[in-house]
Structure 1
């Protein structure tokens, strides 16, 4: 297996792990992202190259930093907030999934804005503050 194939295999492994952690099926992910279930499978198996646009879409859906899918990033190296949502319903209807995905995206954006405005992550790692233009 060449280096390129190994990279896509590792990205796929990480995509699958994030999907399973989110408690979603390939079919649910495919519907939410507007792609065929087979494409999700190809990405997870590393048999199809994935572009940055799709990596960003998966990251938003799963509530994680897109760098977490990159092989050069050590697992656990990037601190991602625990933004998972709790559901009290016994079953989530298929029609609820787009709303849940959008809520997850909004929650991620709120977290990132908070980090930028406060100048540090909750763990205490400093983040450069944006400069105010006068």
Structure 2
């Protein structure tokens, strides 16, 4: 878990264009504490993991390495939408397919 956490923190931070100092400020942490999270020298508590997941708009499972999906598919929230054409189009588009979604 920790190996995935620190590597995903770095990946997400770099992807968002933030420095360690900038992200630490956003998360209300000392920079050195955040740096230790990224280096795997410290492990954040659950509240901090949740805060980081919310900041990056990813699931906690993705952040800690329990899932390779960074989002929760809509069908997890609404199982009845499983067969919806619109949901299928959005899911396909999300996977990189070229679809135009309209009403």
- Going by fraction, where is helix more abundant, 1 or 2? 2
Change (3 A) 1:31 1:69: same
Where does structure 2 lack aligned partners over 5 or more consecutive residues? 82-86, 93-103
In the other structure, the counterpart of 1:16 is 10
So what's the TM-score if we normalise by structure 2?
0.65
Residue 97 of structure 2 aligns with which residue?
none
Q: 1:44 to 1:119 in 2, by over 3 A?
A: farther
SS at match of 1:123: helix
Q: 2:25 aligns with which of 22, 27, 31?
A: 31
TM-score, normalised via structure 1 length: 0.52
Task: Specify whether residues 14 and 118 from structure 1 end up closer, same or farther in structure 2 by C-alpha distance, changes over 3 A only.
Answer: same
Structure 2 counterpart of 1:46: 40
Note the residue ranges of structure 1 that are not aligned, 5 or more in a row: 1-6, 82-111, 125-134
2:101 is aligned to none
CA RMSD of aligned residues (A): 2.6
